[in-house]
C-alpha cells in the first residue's frame, strides 16, 4: 500500500493557462443573430466564420454544426476540434471578436488544419471590420 494518497482533483488545482472558460463561449440565439447581422463572413475550407466586434478584451466562440456534417459522434468530434483550435490560437487571432463558426460537410481533418483555417478566417474578418471602421480617405 502506498504511503501517500493523491489529493482529490479540485477546480482550484486545475491549470489555469489552457482552459476554455464559460466567458469565452457565445450563448443564446440573440448573440448568434447579432453576429450574423454583422454581415462579415470569411470562408476557409469547410468552415465559414462570421465575426463581429464584441467590445471585450477576449474573443467568444459560437458553433453551428448541422446534421449534414454527420451523425452525432461525428458532429461532436468536429465541435471538440473547433473548440480546441479556438483555445489554442488565441495569440494568432484578433482579440475582441465574437466568432460563429459554421461547419460544412467534410472529411476527417487533423487539429492543425482546423487551427490554420480558423486563424485564416478570423484574421480576414478582423481586417474587414478594421476597414469598415476606418474613416474614408479624402479625394
* Nearest Cα to Cα of residue 61 among 37, 91, 35: 35
**Averaged pLDDT score across all residues of the chain:** 84
Q: Yes or no: is domain 42-133 CATH 3.30.230.10?
A: yes
Instruction: State the Cα angle at 58 between 119 and 82, rounded to 5°.
Output: 40
**pLDDT tier at 23, thresholds 50, 70, 90:** confident
pTM beyond 0.85: the answer is no
Distances (CA, A) of 130 to 25, 69, 90, 133: 23, 32, 18, 5
Query: Per-residue pLDDT tens for 43-96?
Result: 999 999 999 998 888 899 999 999 999 999 999 999 999 999 999 988 898 888
Query: Residue 46: how many CB atoms within 10 A of its CB?
Result: 17
**Structure confidence at residue 7 as a pLDDT band (50, 70, 90):** very low
**Cβ atoms of residues 87 and 52 within 8 Å:** no
Amino acid at each position: 500500500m502506498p504511503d501517500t494518497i493523491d489529493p482529490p482533483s479540485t477546480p482550484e488545482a486545475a491549470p489555469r493557462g489552457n482552459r476554455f472558460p464559460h466567458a469565452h463561449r457565445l450563448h443564446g440565439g440573440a448573440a448568434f443573430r447579432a453576429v450574423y447581422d454583422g454581415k462579415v463572413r470569411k470562408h476557409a475550407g469547410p468552415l465559414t466564420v462570421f465575426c463581429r466586434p464584441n467590445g471585450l478584451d477576449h474573443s467568444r466562440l459560437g458553433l453551428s454544426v448541422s446534421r449534414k456534417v454527420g451523425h452525432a459522434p461525428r458532429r461532436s468530434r468536429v465541435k471538440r476540434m473547433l473548440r480546441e483550435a479556438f483555445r489554442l490560437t488565441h495569440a494568432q487571432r484578433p482579440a475582441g471578436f465574437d466568432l460563429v463558426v459554421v461547419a460544412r460537410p467534410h472529411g476527417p481533418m487533423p487539429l492543425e488544419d482546423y487551427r490554420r483555417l480558423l486563424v485564416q478566417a478570423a484574421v480576414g474578418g478582423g481586417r474587414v471590420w478594421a476597414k469598415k471602421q476606418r474613416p474614408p480617405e479624402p479625394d
